[in-house]
Amino acid sequence: MAKGKMGPSVKNDVIAAEDVITSELTRGERALDLIWRSWLFIFLLGLIVFFWSQTPADSFLTGSNFKLIALNTSEVILLAIGETFVIVTAGIDLSIGGILLIAGTCGGKVMLALSGSHAQVEMGQYPHATTAICVGIAVCVVMGTAWGLVNGLLITLLKLPPFIVTLGTLGITFGLSDLISGGTNFFAPVPPSFTDRIGNGMFLGLYVPIWIAIFFLIVAHIVYHHLRFGRYTAAVGSNEEGARRTGIAVNRQIVKVYALAGFLAGSAAVLDLAIFTNISRASHSSDNLNAIGAVVIGGTSLFGGVGTIIGSAIGAFIPTITQNGLVIMNVPSFWQEVLVGVTIIFAVYLDQVRRRRSSK
């Protein structure tokens, strides 16, 4: 009888124990899943902690330095937004760095030409600066958009792979930029008022280019997630033939997406001129790497159809934070490029591990 009484009790205890273990495993799995979903923030935090521990006090972990990092990231964010839309269509744009360069070169040359005579500008006098700045900004944006249109038209009309088209455009834009500039910097900086109001201008404690990047980021997020343009872009990347059969003008959408990427590259050229007062080939040799890396790290699939604007913006901080920390650590410039590349590859690897885990 005693044995009979103990049977159900023991069985119930075993069942209760199994429930507890299952519950604990579920909580552990949820915690691990949360960690994987937040891996990008954790990775960024790890970078910050590493450079904070390896650099002199009051050098890396300061408000002024983080404002500088955000300022330098503002250009990458604009490029990454455009690249996100392109990659969501299952395409690629290798030319955005070249488009930025040629747009900035043409816009800067126009600014200097309209600001005054060559002698006046060389002496630091800019009597027609306001007109020159407005026209120069327009040239940057129009030039960037035009090159984006060229990419889109070549891809759709000639049925060429985006990789080949944009690789060719990259070489063309870099070569033309050298021809226009003579392979050197401008003979004088762009009008100081442009730099004072935009490049070094402050609003609510942040540089103006940061606010411009935030504005584009918000608009792009709304367009991608809530408007027809974003839905059509994702549909083309998910299934191009299926999108065509549902009535979407696929070729027109692809042209629009590449034109948008060119427009944002031209806008980034405006920020580049405002921040650095000049523009050169050497400073934009890794723009493509930084932008594409930011997009992939942020969660956009290279196979198309899936993307996130906010994720791309967060991913854009990885190369700039890495480079900033390495500069403070006095790491030679050629090693900086190597380590930034390694960091991007490692971050992409972590994202792929997360994807494989979530697909199981």
Owner of token pair 């129009």: 142
Exposure class string for 105-130: b at 16+ Cβ within 10 A, else e: bbbbbbbbebbbeeeebeeeebebbe
- What stretches of the chain show up as alpha helix (H) in DSSP? 2-37, 39-54, 63-88, 96-115, 118-122, 129-157, 162-181, 192-194, 208-226, 228-238, 240-245, 250-276, 287-297, 309-328, 333-359
More confidently predicted of 234 and 38? 234
pLDDT digits (tens, 9 = 90+) for 99-139: 999 999 999 999 988 888 888 887 888 888 899 999 999 99
N residues, the chain: 360
Query: Which range is most confident: 120-129, 173-182, 261-270, 350-359?
Result: 261-270
More confidently predicted of 21 and 72? 72
Other C-beta atoms within 10 Å of 19: how many? Answer: 10
- What stretches of 55-95 show up as alpha helix (H) in DSSP? 63-88
Looking at residues 82-97, what average pLDDT do you find?
92
Choice among 134-143, 146-155, 242-251 with the minimum mean pLDDT: 242-251
Residue 210 confidence (pLDDT): 92
The Cα-based distances of 186 to 71, 129, 143, 151, 278 in angstroms read: 23, 16, 18, 28, 6
Looking at residues 45-71, what average pLDDT do you find?
84
**pTM listed for this prediction:** 0.83
Residue 14 confidence (pLDDT): 43
More confidently predicted of 196 and 139? 139
For domain 62-359, the question of CATH label 1.10.10 is answered with no
Residue 256 confidence (pLDDT): 95
Residue 265 confidence (pLDDT): 95
Q: Provide DSSP, 255-315.
A: HHHHHHHHHHHHHHHHHHHHHHSS--SGGGTTHHHHHHHHHHHTT--TTSS---HHHHHHH
What whole-number distance in Å separates Cα of residue 198 and Cα of residue 192? 10
Q: Any idea what DSSP says for residue 247?
A: T
Choice among 5-9, 118-122, 257-261, 278-282 with the minimum mean pLDDT: 5-9
Q: Find residue 207's DSSP bridge partners.
A: 202
The H-or-E segment that residue 189 falls in is none
Coil, helix or strand at residue 117 = coil
Q: Which two tokens stand for residue 344?
A: 């991007």
Residue 153 confidence (pLDDT): 95
pLDDT digits (tens, 9 = 90+) for 1-13: 444 444 555 444 4
Owner of token pair 């050497």: 282
Coil, helix or strand at residue 206 = strand
Choice among 31-35, 175-179, 343-347 with the minimum mean pLDDT: 31-35
Residue 27 confidence (pLDDT): 61
CA dihedral 341, 345, 351, 353 (to 10 degrees): -160
What whole-number distance in Å separates Cα of residue 140 and Cα of residue 264? 10
pLDDT confidence tier of residue 85, bands split at 50, 70 and 90:
very high
Contact present, 293 and 87 (Cβ < 8 Å): no
Domain ranges of the chain: 62-359
